[in-house]
Chains A and B, each alone.
Chain A
Amino acid sequence: MLRRSLRVIAMMMLTLVLAATGFAGTASAQDKFKLGMAVGGNTCCEWMKAQGDVARALAEKNGWDYVELSNNNDPATALKNAQIFVQEGVNAVIQFNGQPSSNPAIAAVLKAANIPVVAYDIADPGMYFVGIDNLAAGIAGGKQLGELIKAKWDCNPDLVISAEGASAGIVNEWRTGGMRTGLKEVCPDIPDAKWVSFESQGDAAVGLPAARDLLAAHPDAKNMAVVGLNDGGVLSLINAAEQLGRADGVIGWGQDGAFITGDNVNPHLAGSVFYFLEGYAVYAVKDVIGPIAAGTVPALKADAGDPASKVQPCPVSAEQAKSVPDMAARVTQLLAAPAGTTEYELFCPNK
């Protein structure tokens, strides 16, 4: 309750700050550096909002002006936002665009206005790539799960289930494919027939019926290893198994660490991979935005394999995750840390 009201108050205060900076921006001269941030705006995920909050805080620390817009999880809105940034006269843009179909157009609009743009996690040839190597993150998580499967079931599960989220496109393939690859590295002899998948839509609640159906269609499977594009997808299978009375044989390993911290972690979620998504702005500011503000534009590195700034994935077991604070606390500690310190450095128990 308290947290909720605090959040509402924080929202209102942020609005005031935004208005104030807006006035300040018009009042002061052009010489102040201005950062534009387009958050993802998908209601699914806490971290999308937090990405904006951290960017704002870092901009303030550096004495920059800051403009935040929301892409509303919609490609057309994202493109419109790019045009607004041009009108606002920002000096650089950071965006997270979960619906990347408009990315080439956005890159073109900003390039025409000579505004460099950082893309989180979803690469585009015209944007500085800051983010996780999704494939590497998948493989890292898959290996950890493989070790568990090897120890518990001698690499012989009845089923390996992948909770997919097709709308995430290539990111889904990297993460779930990476997890399968990592698992195979440890347990190479699991026969093809045992690998199955279902569409979880990356949402524990939405994916639940499909997860139950998958379990019903494999009534004899007892020992099940679960991978997925995120913790939510994996949890949908775990919850389904609990409801069908078959959770005892389920070991899941997620991605993104959304449900591995706090006091309500499901016991069947054995681990996850932290990206510390909320803190990406530290990487972007350190390696791209900061140099630009200082007058040296770094070379464009747009490829996830050779990124402008690489976010280190942090695979953690549920046990290790207990030492990791929840997201709100992490943001507070991150902003209190010396400039350039990443969350990986602060919180990853498994470096």
Chain B
Amino acid sequence: MNDLLSQPVLEARRIARHFGAVIALADASLTLNKNEVLGLVGDNGAGKSTLLKILSGIISASSGEVLVDGTPIQLRRAQDAMDAGIETVYQDLALVDTMTAYQNVYLGREEISKNPVARFFNLVDDRQMRQRAREVLDSLQVKIPSINVTVKGMSGGQRQCLAIARALLWGRRIVILDEPTAALGVRETGQVLDVIRELRKQDVSVIIVSHNMQQLMSVADRITVMRLGRSIATRTVKDTQVSEIVGLITGAIPGDHQEEAATLATA
């Protein structure tokens, strides 16, 4: 399936998660290769959000393991995921309205000034941050009014692009997008999808959750389907059709055998 011989950047193996007696996630696996956009689909309640939350360290798995570059990692807090190079972009929680675009992009990772005196006083290097932010936004072809303006007045698309661009600027290699275009119009959706394609060009791998099949088919390389808390199939976009994916989601088409699915996922 995979043209590259290098190992996957991110791998989730047989992840399960129980909330008391409730099984939110029974057995989910996925593989994300380098320079790949992986679509993650499934009906409501199929376990997508739970899996994403586990991958971004917000909740921990009951069993199973997560590997980054082939090395198992512990995800206990959001910071663990970030340290492992995983960036998760949420729909609404991403930006601080009262801060400017570049301040938002650098939030939590502000560059401290090189000047030793300024450094002593914990002063940040705004010039450097503005310049870098501008470069990164330009390279991703993100268009915003100005990086020095608060993000409050910006459109949903601009805000989403900023949040995604941040991942690149922070040197993340894995970006998880949860419904990045759900609230956006046609034009803005196009803008976000372009940024995702740009990300891939710049060696960032992306997991994208979306209900919009056409959109996924246009941007993703592979699609993993989840149903009833299990990952049941993975398809390469150029070898499949929307109808097959929808069939897998609804159960009209049976999933691959569980063992097979696991094999597929790690192929």
A and B touch in the complex (CB under 8 A): no
